[in-house]
Structure 1
Amino acid sequence: MDTIFARGPSLLSRLILASLLSLLLIILDHRLDSFSTVRVYLNSLVSPLQYMANLPGQMLNQASSAVTTQRELLEQNARLTQQNILMSEEVQRFNLLKKENDRLRSLLGSPVRPGMRKIVAELMAVDNNPYSHQVVINKGTINGVYEGQPVLDDKGIVGQVMQVGTTTSRVLLIADVTHGVPVRIVRNDVRLVASGSGQLSRLSVNHVPHSTDIREGDILVSSGLGHVFPEGYPVGEVTAVIRDETRPFALIRAKPAAQLERLKHLLLLWPDDAPREPVIDRGQTTDV
């Protein structure tokens, strides 16, 4: 049966014809560059198709990048938060060390007379007895500490050593009711005795005649009498002067210069007449 359409050239003939035509076009384009304009138009025509073909890949890359960036940001945020916490702890520790360093510098820079020996001691314990104000420090006979030795902080006189062990000592604070310090008023050199009141924040100046020239705000320093505390160290500041004529003496109150309620580092002094070498009791084996 005959086909509706007439049969055309064979496939081989078509292939040979297409190959010759392609070769001719290649030669013409190479020799005469006659298809450059056509290539530009063809590239312009194909460009939207290339963009459309690349669009799914670009969208996938952007989505993957967004997910990766978000994950990295979360990890970085967690890491920075942890570092911030660690740095905050270090800053707090450094601030504490700085304050202790400043306190120690203040102690070592106290106005001690040239040539006077001094060492820094640290508070170990506070006496729990409410009727006695005593503390224990980490220095003893092996450090040359002796009974009656003056003890200061960076503000003023704290007290004196009352018992000495091999490696520790017990200090009686000036606020104790049994303690007294010979003092003088800086303003006029009037000599008095400041005694403990039993309260860390208050001293009493007893047996002061009503006619004595003493005022609120007067600074009391050690007078050097009694040969315990060297002369000129701050003891306290007068906070109240009550002159009641019905009483034989004026009522004088003072605030200690030393921060007795916040002791940590203390300064031990060796006056000129103090023992210069450690005095160790060979029979003493226990600490205070």
Structure 2
Amino acid sequence: MDTIFTRGPSLNNRLTLALVLSVLLIFVDHKLDGFKSTRVYLNSLMSPLQYLANLPGLMLSESAQRLTSQEDLLAENQKLNNQLLLMSEKLQQFNVLAKENNQLRELLQAPVRTEARKMVAELMAVDKNPYSQQVVINKGAIDGVYLSQPVIDNEGIVGQVMEVGSTNSRVLLIADVTHAIPVRSLRNDIRFIATGSGTLNELYLEHVPHSVDIQVGDTLISSGLGNVFPEGYPVAEVTRVIRDESRPFARVIVSPLANLDRLRHLLLLWNSKDAENEDNTQEKNTTNTDEENDA
């Protein structure tokens, strides 16, 4: 006797239909970007679950900190005080150099760099895909985060924002194979393109001629080209230079200066133009509010 469960299309027809629908959805998403808003909504929907998943770790971290001995706290406090004293001395020199730099720019009629807006963010999750180097942070659209926004840590450039949700965002690390950043050598100002290798501790310099003056130990900083990363932030240090004359270009391997494998607190940077536009908008809103109150 036939049952209702044996009726319907065959398994081969169902498999073919599923494959066709999958290919169609991939094409619409990749070429037409038809599910961009859907991904934003799903990302916002998943953010509470990510906060809940991080809650046990935060509780354990706080418990461990409370169990730290008094001697360790005193030693750490003394170390931090020493570091603060050293940084204060460097800050004094930096303030003098900054004033001199602004005076020289005024004499040369060069534009003076304005202080950019910054915001501290915290790491929420790490992408477990071995072929993708991405992390999730706890700042999103409600905090003013935008696509391609630069992200740094206390050592150097970490990456840029690739997806923005309401309360969190996804950051593409500079070590990802799809990421590239324009850099220049701090020693001689020669410009390069640093691309990710897929591993956290290596980057490659693309198309470096054999005759280029580059040495192991050279520090590479952001060049400011591309209008994504601001100029002058540390990126990487040259670790290996292989000049094989049988190849058209030298093979240059560099190591990121940012602690990509130990990220916790990050710093979001705003473009100076975006900060000025935001300030102008806030001033305009304040003026309109004052005029309404006067009326």
Calculate the TM-score normalised by the size of structure 1.
0.59
Tell me which amino acid in the other structure corresponds to 2:167.
Answer: T
Deviation at 1:206, TM superposition (A): 1.2
Is contact 1:241-1:253 (8 Å) kept? yes
Q: Structure 2 vs 1, CA of residues 96 and 217 (structure 1 numbering), >3 Å: closer, same or farther?
A: same
Tell me which amino acid in the other structure corresponds to 1:186.
Answer: L
Deviation at 1:272, TM superposition (A): 1.6
Deviations 1:174-226 (A, max 9, x none): 00000001000011110100010111011100110111111111110000000
| Mapping for residues 1-288 of structure 1, pairs under 5 Å | 88-89=68-69, 114-274=114-274, 277=278
Partners of 1:272 and 1:88 lie apart in 2 by 42
Fraction of identical pairs, as percent:
60
Bigger shift: residues 149-158 or 93-102: 93-102
Indicate the SS of the match to 1:261: coil
Deviation at 1:274, TM superposition (A): 2.9
Tell me which amino acid in the other structure corresponds to 1:192.
Answer: F
**Larger relative contact order, structure 1 or 2 (CA cutoff 8 Å, min sep 6):** 1
Deviation at 1:262, TM superposition (A): 0.4
Deviation at 1:92, TM superposition (A): 5.4
Deviations 1:37-85 (A, max 9, x none): xxxxxxxxxxxxxxxxxxxxxxxxxxxxxxxxxxxxxxxxxxxxxxxxx
Larger radius of gyration: 1
Q: Structure 2 vs 1, CA of residues 99 and 205 (structure 1 numbering), >3 Å: closer, same or farther?
A: farther
Q: Structure 2 vs 1, CA of residues 114 and 274 (structure 1 numbering), >3 Å: closer, same or farther?
A: closer
Partners of 1:191 and 1:274 lie apart in 2 by 26
Is contact 1:144-1:277 (8 Å) kept? no
Considering only aligned residues, what root-mean-square deviation do their CA atoms show, in Å? Answer: 3.1
Tell me which amino acid in the other structure corresponds to 1:261.
Answer: D
Partners of 2:137 and 2:174 lie apart in 1 by 16
Extract unaligned runs of 5+ from structure 2.
1-65, 99-112, 280-295
Partners of 2:151 and 2:80 lie apart in 1 by 18
Is contact 1:219-1:234 (8 Å) kept? yes
Partners of 2:77 and 2:120 lie apart in 1 by 16
Q: Structure 2 vs 1, CA of residues 97 and 139 (structure 1 numbering), >3 Å: closer, same or farther?
A: farther
Calculate the TM-score normalised by the size of structure 2.
0.58
Partners of 2:235 and 2:129 lie apart in 1 by 24
Indicate the SS of the match to 1:274: helix
Tell me which amino acid in the other structure corresponds to 2:233.
Answer: Y
Extract unaligned runs of 5+ from structure 1.
1-85, 279-288
Q: Structure 2 vs 1, CA of residues 227 and 129 (structure 1 numbering), >3 Å: closer, same or farther?
A: same
Deviations 1:234-269 (A, max 9, x none): 000000000001101000000101000000000000
Partners of 1:168 and 1:147 lie apart in 2 by 12
Q: Structure 2 vs 1, CA of residues 100 and 164 (structure 1 numbering), >3 Å: closer, same or farther?
A: farther
Total equivalences in the alignment: 189
Structure (1 or 2) with the greater helix fraction: 2
Partners of 2:74 and 2:172 lie apart in 1 by 32
Bigger shift: residues 152-161 or 268-277: 268-277
Tell me which amino acid in the other structure corresponds to 2:222.
Answer: S
Q: Structure 2 vs 1, CA of residues 143 and 277 (structure 1 numbering), >3 Å: closer, same or farther?
A: farther
Deviation at 1:277, TM superposition (A): 4.5
Tell me which amino acid in the other structure corresponds to 2:157.
Answer: I
Is contact 2:136-2:171 (8 Å) kept? yes
